[in-house]
Structure 1
């Protein structure tokens, strides 16, 4: 007899899943029967929230869904924060949880891990379903993958009752094909060409929806001679290119570039406030005359555009570039002026920002092949405003969108599992590390090349400064940090302590390493 748990693993493998992040429990052990074959690797985090963040980091690097196995009740609620982050950043993760036996669902019998209605808790967030019939396993997986990789990528959830997991399950049919990505019509492309042909000062906005489309974006930008402003999730596209503006549209300099444009093309960006108006000052120029391209019809309806087009950003950029005639103009000069002005603007926002950006850039110089996966910490905030990542998907963090603290370690581990040949730097504050410190042992268990770079200012400094700025007494912002040296020793990690000095950081990062390590930056 082949059980539901075993067929589940077969079905995941058939859909390209190679890794599952999970913590087994009495309500999921039957799912683990299928992992005995070794066809899917299992990585054990220390907390279910970490499992979700690991699945997220894995998905951001590969573009394939990250998968987490969690128990019913607290296992699933612990994962909800990671699901929220994935939803806000359009990242496909599949959470498979247990749930109590079918006859007990909704009865309030006081069973272990019981919730009134798990699926109802998840339903406002993403696609969810309860598998009550083994014959429905294959179709349930098809629906979940379609939801994750359809119009707007994001999380999905399947819960399996404990009395269904060990049941006999018939062989699964081959996976159903995924829905085809929407494509721009010839008429839409023609109209976009007509609008752009008339433009003398076009500007491109590129977000996370373009993060796998560097070649077509580069070609389009060069044909249009258009500066490309990158949101946080688009960083690394067009690294060092004369047309690249790796600066947040919350800054005045990119906004001035947009205000002077006579046509704006927005590719794969949700135009969210944490990218476009994080200081809530309302000075973003009117974008209603833009051409906007997005996979999601609901997203397209949220902002006015002269030409909204439902399409995948990379395919659209390639098709559009093929129809346009190359031009030469002042695009590079406009981009350079915006870059210089944006960088200079940091000091006016906070006197420490240039120094924090210098530290991030020192990390890039010392380890140019590394990804930097960030948490919500001050150097990340600074670099989200201005930072040119060295390659696509080499910079991502949780400091925009949902803004979950503790994201960094799990996501860094997921990224390292996804692409073990590329080292990872996890840039996290002492406050954020307090949310997920135990995940560092997972990096050791898996032998991953992750450098945990801890910015230790012994405070929730960003919040304390916000309180001070609002003339509120600072309360609750000074939890004592871990003793990083002893903590590193407890985790079995090599340790080094440095000051806020780019040269010191470069030297520390350039030291030989064998597996994970911890470097503490003692921030003033």
Structure 2
């Protein structure tokens, strides 16, 4: 007999899920019965919010969803914040939860973990939430989830299973995994868009996180158009580290806004045109006056924020390829004289004068050091000063190497657990968590998860020592190891960004001047290495030792000492 819980494990494996984040509870014990002998890796965070952030970081770094196993009631309210962040940034995440027995649902009897309308509550932070009442329907519900992940605008999906159904028998045979292909652009829409772009005198391209899987085709299109391009925070690195047409996430700055207003045709690819990417000064000052072409997998999104003149519900990569072919074909009819895109970008960079910005100056040595010591790293940020600055100045060689919680939902406590998820997804790359002392205190318990992951990697390395170096098994085993994690703590004694807002608005500093913990003692308690850094040289020395041991490396940067050193 195959139970519902066992079939769930089989279906997850068939759909390509390889990692599950969860904290076992009395309502989910049955889910764990078959987990030991499956191919799924289970990671235990110290809080369900951490589980969600880890799944978020895993998906952003790899482009593949992970699963979370979460208990009824408090487990679901704990993970809701992480689901909200993933929903805001269109990050796939599969949340499997328990719920009370079928016969008690909605009756308010005071059962353990009972939560009125759990599915309805979670529906607000999910693409959809489904209560499974028939075990035989499980393959259909999971297929719906992966249809969203693969063929529509992704985000969290919640499936709750009553605890009395986990052990229920499933009679239907194991179905094959469904493959979903995203929609291609309509030929007439491609023709219309290529005509607009081909006739443009001052084209502009806006690229969002929805284009991360299409870096090659989008780059080719941008270069063919010779168009200045704004890559959002979640699209950082899509055009590479130093592309002459990439103006990055500078849409909130005056010079870039003038460029946007002057553009006669704008092509927006996989971006929701949201406030945290285009209006970080919160004045609704980002205006588009030219013809707007939008491409997105979500039809409704095409009419939000900025209504498109021409809207394509389609995959970004397929659309970029089709537009490139149409534009090349149309060049036989002649191309209008237009301003050189690189020259337009250079004028904007000159006006932006980011190198002379005193607010960014204190952070530049930090990012220069990261580029020099860990050029290939994935950098995962919390909401903190260096991350806000890095959203403008950080350079990454490829997409999925820079993401943080400053976009969308804007949660604190994201950086460390999301970095752990990213490291598990991409063990071939170093990972850096860039956090503030305030935000890190939301999730201090996840230092224990970082330690556990490091210990597991050490055990795997020890086992590899007994493998024949000529064996092909070794290469396979290498990919399962998580590399040491670097945790950079920007310590400014509290919530400095909020202090600045209070000062600007004439509000007394209440609740923001917080004494940080002894991070050196915490590092020792959680078996982490610890270094202090008051200068770029200190930071470079610390990061150079990252791979000297398997344990996580905590580097505490005294923000005041760092800034004083720069002044001298």
Q: TM-score surpassing 0.5?
A: yes
The corresponding residue for 2:348 is 338
Q: Distance in 1 between matches of 2:146 and 2:106?
A: 27
Structure 2 counterpart SS, 1:496: strand
1:12-41 per-position Cα deviation (integer Å, ceiling 9, x unaligned)? 001010110111010001001120213111
Q: Mapping of 1:417-436 within 5 angstroms?
A: 417-436=424-443
Greater displacement, 337-346 / 185-194: 337-346
Q: Does 1:496 align with 2:506?
A: no
Q: 1:503 to 1:260 in 2, by over 3 A?
A: farther
Report the Cα offset of residue 353 of structure 1.
Answer: 2.2
Structure 2 counterpart SS, 1:183: coil
Moved over 6 A (4+): none
Q: Mapping of 1:267-278 within 5 angstroms?
A: 267-278=269-280
The corresponding residue for 1:247 is 249
The corresponding residue for 2:474 is none
1:42-94 per-position Cα deviation (integer Å, ceiling 9, x unaligned)? 11111100000011111112212121101111111100000000000000101
Q: Distance in 1 between matches of 2:513 and 2:377?
A: 32
Q: Does 1:304 align with 2:339?
A: no
Report the Cα offset of residue 257 of structure 1.
Answer: 2.0
Report the Cα offset of residue 329 of structure 1.
Answer: 5.3
Q: Distance in 1 between matches of 2:45 and 2:349?
A: 40
The corresponding residue for 2:122 is 122
Q: Mapping of 1:323-472 within 5 angstroms?
A: 323-325=326-328, 330-344=340-354, 347=357, 351-447=358-454, 448=482, 449-472=484-507
Structure 1 counterpart SS, 2:531: strand
Q: Distance in 1 between matches of 2:263 and 2:48?
A: 46
The corresponding residue for 2:207 is 206
- In the alignment, is the contact (CA less than 8 A) between 2:9 and 2:38 conserved in 1? no
Structure 2 counterpart SS, 1:481: coil
- In the alignment, is the contact (CA less than 8 A) between 1:372 and 1:424 conserved in 2? yes
- In the alignment, is the contact (CA less than 8 A) between 1:371 and 1:394 conserved in 2? yes
Report the Cα offset of residue 485 of structure 1.
Answer: 0.5
Q: Distance in 2 between matches of 1:446 and 1:77?
A: 25
Q: Mapping of 1:81-96 within 5 angstroms?
A: 81-96=81-96
The corresponding residue for 2:175 is 174
1:308-329 per-position Cα deviation (integer Å, ceiling 9, x unaligned)? 1111112111111122137785
Q: Distance in 2 between matches of 1:272 and 1:118?
A: 29
Q: 1:444 to 1:473 in 2, by over 3 A?
A: same
- In the alignment, is the contact (CA less than 8 A) between 1:55 and 1:66 conserved in 2? yes
Q: 1:388 to 1:336 in 2, by over 3 A?
A: farther
Q: Distance in 2 between matches of 1:121 and 1:245?
A: 40
Report the Cα offset of residue 215 of structure 1.
Answer: 0.4
- In the alignment, is the contact (CA less than 8 A) between 1:206 and 1:269 conserved in 2? yes
Q: 1:230 to 1:343 in 2, by over 3 A?
A: farther
Number of matched pairs: 520
Report the Cα offset of residue 179 of structure 1.
Answer: 4.4
Report the Cα offset of residue 369 of structure 1.
Answer: 1.3
- In the alignment, is the contact (CA less than 8 A) between 2:62 and 2:400 conserved in 1? no
The corresponding residue for 2:34 is 34
Out of 502, 520, 533, the position equivalent to 1:485 is 520
1:346-378 per-position Cα deviation (integer Å, ceiling 9, x unaligned)? 72xxx3322213312321221001100000000
- In the alignment, is the contact (CA less than 8 A) between 1:251 and 1:345 conserved in 2? no
- In the alignment, is the contact (CA less than 8 A) between 1:21 and 1:68 conserved in 2? yes
Q: Distance in 1 between matches of 2:428 and 2:172?
A: 36
Q: Distance in 2 between matches of 1:415 and 1:130?
A: 30
The corresponding residue for 2:236 is 235
**What stretches of structure 1 of length at least 5 have no aligned partner?**
none
Q: Distance in 1 between matches of 2:173 and 2:405?
A: 37
Structure 2 counterpart SS, 1:96: strand
Q: Distance in 1 between matches of 2:442 and 2:258?
A: 38
Q: 1:44 to 1:287 in 2, by over 3 A?
A: farther
- In the alignment, is the contact (CA less than 8 A) between 1:5 and 1:166 conserved in 2? yes
1:144-172 per-position Cα deviation (integer Å, ceiling 9, x unaligned)? 22233342110100111111111112355
The corresponding residue for 2:556 is 520
- TM-score (norm: length of structure 1): 0.96
- In the alignment, is the contact (CA less than 8 A) between 1:356 and 1:382 conserved in 2? yes
1:374-410 per-position Cα deviation (integer Å, ceiling 9, x unaligned)? 0000000111133222211110000111001001111
Out of 314, 319, 341, the position equivalent to 2:317 is 314
Q: Distance in 2 between matches of 1:84 and 1:172?
A: 35
The corresponding residue for 1:14 is 14
Report the Cα offset of residue 521 of structure 1.
Answer: 0.5
- In the alignment, is the contact (CA less than 8 A) between 2:263 and 2:289 conserved in 1? no
- In the alignment, is the contact (CA less than 8 A) between 1:7 and 1:171 conserved in 2? no
The corresponding residue for 2:59 is 59
